[in-house]
Every structure is written in structure tokens, then in C-alpha cells.
A and B are shown apart, each in its own frame.
Chain A
């Protein structure tokens, strides 16, 4: 049982990372990741909205009629987005300024509506909360890594430190072109990582179940992944 909860949480980190594997929410990803701290702010705000909306939608999933579920989900998401926006405006005005329009635009972030539709609308509260946390953590991690790379190469700093930067800035990395380039590279790396993980899983499963009963196992060393005999 614990395994199921862990899987629900961890799939958002790499295997189904919302930005890098499902390619959702690319608009805020590309737009705000000019600095690592912006990525952190955006990720935290979206994670909060994702967690709360997943919980509320999961609680209401039996009450909301199927035909009007999308408007209902959006109302819930918009409510939490407004809360986040007011909080950030009040306590973190610098972050609010650098995120700009992308903060209220969390309402239309496809990750949040996507999780509501694909997960929270069908699963229990606990699982939905974990799913929201996992997806939010994956989103935040991707944004911080991307913002960190772009800030370091394009500005020479990391989280605004050290003052003035330690390498000569390569400005193209904070321009949109560099954003797309870093995004592509990260997608490539996550894809490689993810296929490797999956491959390992199938290999292990195969050797444990199929190959144990196969008389040829001694010869093929589990290499024949296409062997379904």
C-alpha cells in the first residue's frame, strides 16, 4: 500500500515530469526561467495551487456533474490562484514583479487542469494530494534547474549570487532562444534517464518471471527483450 502512495508521488519527479516528459505548462516554463529564483517562486506558487485544487476537486468529485466539470474545476483553481497572487503581492513584491502576468496565468496552466481531469477527479483525497505534491515538485525542480542553468550561463550568477557573476555572461541564454535550447536539452536528458529507468524495470521483471521458466535463459542472459514466450 505504501508502495502505491510512493509511486503516486514519485512519478511526477522524472517518469511523468509535467514539463519535461508530458510537455505541459511550457509557457511559464520558458517565460519565467531567466533566473533560478523566479523558477523557485513560480514552482512554489503552482505547487500550492495544484495541491489545494487537487484536494478540493477530489473531495467534490462525486458532487460535480460530469458535463460541467471543467468550469467547476476552473472555478476552484481560479480561487486558489487568486489567494496565491494576493499573498505573493503582499509579502514577496520582488517575485511578483519578476513573474508579472505569469502569476495570475497559473489559472490556465495545463498541468493543474490536467491533473484535476486525469487524477483528482477520479481518485481519493490522499492520493490526489500526493499526486499534486509530486507533480508540483517535478514542476518546481524542472523550473529551478532550467532557471539555474540559464541564470548561470547568461548572467554568471546562481540565485543572484555572487554579485556581478563569476563567468562572463553569454546573454543569449537569458533570451528566448537560449530558453528553448536549454528546454530541449533538458527534455533530452530526462528522456534518456526515463527510458533507462523503464528499461531496467522491464528487464528485472522479465528475468524474474519469464526467464526463470525459460530453458534458453542461460544463453540469452535476459538480452532478448522481445522474447515473450
Chain B
């Protein structure tokens, strides 16, 4: 390199962070929720998580190999996808179904569109939605937390949102939702663990707090306006994990500030719409996937004006 001038295109300064670092930070941020899931649902939860991550890694490795593309397994993104998918499954799911979901997420939603950064929707959410369409019975089998210790009477129970749909909101205690003492998917129940992870990501500047805050805020306001208990709405279902870890996926959310605002408000509106007016009790995954698909459109309308370019002439 001595005595040669490097000629390259911009950007010339690099902060030194790469995909692997970012994904490692996301994994670290998911660890509190992982511990919470094992505490709440027992070691079966760990088994589901291990199966999801392992099959996601295997699918990534094999699909890159078959397509004769450079290996990308070392960027750890498939570990994040597998972990997020596992967090979106009930603890009772048969392990082969969990593995099937992981393979669909990696192969169909990610690698078929060109790999990381080319996927137009969040792979983990596609895995979840395909599993929901394929195995509605096993995907709606909710176990009460701590049932594995044998100290809780009822084994299966309704999720808070299912209770809300039946107008049984009085049975829900918002404080227990904060610690995850409710039926639901592995990683979505313990709101406080997810919040810790989210704060870590914001401090490490991996995600901007804009999308989670506006998304959760929109749901809070809309639930309040519609006469529901807003606290229960923001603490239940998959809203926390969706807003912090899935709506903020780089490849599928808008880049600009205003784009992010529109995107997050859209997510919030669709979530509340599905929860209150739809036939499903929960709508976070569909809301995020729909806004993922709308992202290119949002980007088009929020594209910043290049410096020095004239404003569009006002029609006279």
C-alpha cells in the first residue's frame, strides 16, 4: 500500500461498526427476555429457542451454499431471526413446527430475495405468520406462566388480549403484565425485560428510539380514545417486542426521520384496528408486515430535497 493513493467512492469515514457488531448488540439486548422466558415457561422454552436458532443457522448456511453465494452466517443475523421467531411462539409448540417456521423465515423471506438487506419484510414475522396460517391449533395454545413449577392451579389460560376481547378486562392487573405473569408467546410476555433490551439498544445507538416510542404512543393514545385501558394495551400482546425489535429492522423500515414517524404511526393504527375491530385478538405482526410492505412508498414521499435543488414551483 505504500506510495499508492487509494481511490474509492464515498463515504470515506467509517465508524468501525459492522453488521456483526450490530447483530451481537441485538442478541445481547434479547438476553433479558430470554432469561425471563426460561423463568416463566421452564426449560421447554429454552428448547424451542435452541431449535429455532439452530435451524435458522442451518437454513442460512445451506441456502447460501446451494445458491453458490458468499457465506453470510458469520454476520449473526440468522441468530437474531431465529431468536425473534422463537420469542413469537407459544411454549407448547412442537419442535418440528418451530424448525419449519425458522426455515421459512430464512429461506423464503430472506434468502430468496437476496439475503440480508434485500428482504422486504421482517423474516421472523413471516415465519410467525406462516406458522399461524399453517398450525392454528398449536399456535393458539397458551400456558400460564410458572405452570411448570407446579405451584399454579390453572395450566392453560387466555391471553390478556383474548380476555379484553371478551370484555373481561377487570381480571387483568397491569403490574403483573409488566413482569410477564400472563399467558402469551415466549419472549413477548415480560415487558420489563424487553424494555431493558430496548434501552440498551438505544444507548448503543443500534436503534433510534423514534419508532418504538411513536408506535407504542400511538397505540396508547388510540386505545385511550376508544375507551379501552391504554396501559393494558401497551403491555400486552406482542407490542413491546414488535415495537422495539421487529419494527426497527433496518432493511424494512424507512431511513428518514419523517418516514419513520409515518411508519410508526401506521403500525400503531393498524395494530389497534386489528385488536379492536378485527377477528384476531392480536395484530402486531400483521401491522408491522403491512407497514414493511408500504415502506418503499413512504420512502418515496419523504425523500429529502438534495441541497441546492429548487423547491417544486408552485402551480399558478
A170 touches B108 (CB 8 A): no
CB-contacts of A135-177 with B (<8 A): 170-173, 175, 177
Any A CB within 8 A of the CB of B136: yes
Chain A binder among B127-135, B143-151, B191-199, B228-236: B127-135
A172 touches B133 (CB 8 A): yes
A172 touches B134 (CB 8 A): yes
Closest to B131 in A: A172
A171-192 interface bits toward B, Cβ cutoff 8 Å, 1 = contact, 0 = none: 1110101100100000000000
Any A CB within 8 A of the CB of B100: yes
B130 touches A172 (CB 8 A): yes
B108 touches A175 (CB 8 A): no
Q: In whole angstroms, how far apart are the Cα atoms of A173 and B134 in the complex? A: 8
Point out the residues of chain B lying under 8 angstroms from A175, CB to CB.
133
CB distance from A173 to the nearest CB of B (A): 8
Point out the residues of chain A lying under 8 angstroms from B133, CB to CB.
171-172, 175, 177-178
Point out the residues of chain B lying under 8 angstroms from A170, CB to CB.
100, 134-135
- A interface size (C-beta, 8 A): 8
B100, B108, B136: the one contacting A171 at CB < 8 Å is B136
Closest to A169 in B: B134
CB-contacts of B128-182 with A (<8 A): 130, 133-136
CB distance from A188 to the nearest CB of B (A): 10
Point out the residues of chain B lying under 8 angstroms from A171, CB to CB.
133-136
Most chain A C-beta atoms within 10 Å of own C-beta, residue among B108, B133, B135, B136: B133
The DSSP consensus for interface residues of chain B is: helix
CB distance from B4 to the nearest CB of A (A): 37
Q: In whole angstroms, how far apart are the Cα atoms of A178 and B108 in the complex? A: 12
Q: In whole angstroms, how far apart are the Cα atoms of A173 and B135 in the complex? A: 11
CB-contacts of B82-140 with A (<8 A): 100, 108, 130, 133-136
Point out the residues of chain B lying under 8 angstroms from A177, CB to CB.
130, 133
Q: In whole angstroms, how far apart are the Cα atoms of A177 and B286 in the complex? A: 14
Q: In whole angstroms, how far apart are the Cα atoms of A172 and B134 in the complex? A: 4
Q: In whole angstroms, how far apart are the Cα atoms of A181 and B104 in the complex? A: 11
CB distance from A153 to the nearest CB of B (A): 9
CB distance from B65 to the nearest CB of A (A): 19
CB-contacts of A45-64 with B (<8 A): none
Most chain B C-beta atoms within 10 Å of own C-beta, residue among A172, A173, A178, A181: A172
Q: In whole angstroms, how far apart are the Cα atoms of A170 and B100 in the complex? A: 10
Point out the residues of chain A lying under 8 angstroms from B135, CB to CB.
170-171
Q: In whole angstroms, how far apart are the Cα atoms of A171 and B136 in the complex? A: 8
A181 touches B108 (CB 8 A): yes
Closest to B94 in A: A168
Point out the residues of chain B lying under 8 angstroms from A173, CB to CB.
134
Q: In whole angstroms, how far apart are the Cα atoms of A172 and B100 in the complex? A: 12
Q: In whole angstroms, how far apart are the Cα atoms of A123 and B134 in the complex? A: 48
Closest to A153 in B: B134
Q: In whole angstroms, how far apart are the Cα atoms of A172 and B108 in the complex? A: 14
Closest to A170 in B: B134
Point out the residues of chain A lying under 8 angstroms from B134, CB to CB.
170-173
Point out the residues of chain B lying under 8 angstroms from A172, CB to CB.
130, 133-134
CB distance from B103 to the nearest CB of A (A): 12
A212-224 interface bits toward B, Cβ cutoff 8 Å, 1 = contact, 0 = none: 0000000000000
Closest to A176 in B: B133
Q: In whole angstroms, how far apart are the Cα atoms of A173 and B104 in the complex? A: 13
B202-245 interface bits toward A, Cβ cutoff 8 Å, 1 = contact, 0 = none: 00000000000000000000000000000000000000000000
Closest to A181 in B: B108
Most chain A C-beta atoms within 10 Å of own C-beta, residue among B130, B133, B134, B136: B134
Point out the residues of chain A lying under 8 angstroms from B130, CB to CB.
172, 177
**Can you list 9 residue pairs at the A/B interface with Cβ under 8 Å?**
A170-B100, A170-B135, A171-B133, A172-B130, A172-B133, A173-B134, A177-B130, A177-B133, A181-B108
Pick the 7 closest A-B CB pairs, nearest first: A172-B133, A172-B134, A170-B134, A171-B134, A172-B130, A175-B133, A171-B133
Excluding A170-B100, A171-B135, 7 further A-B contacts by CB distance (< 8 Å) are A171-B133, A171-B134, A171-B136, A172-B130, A172-B133, A172-B134, A178-B133
Instruction: Give B contacts to A, CB under 8 Å.
Output: 100, 108, 130, 133-136
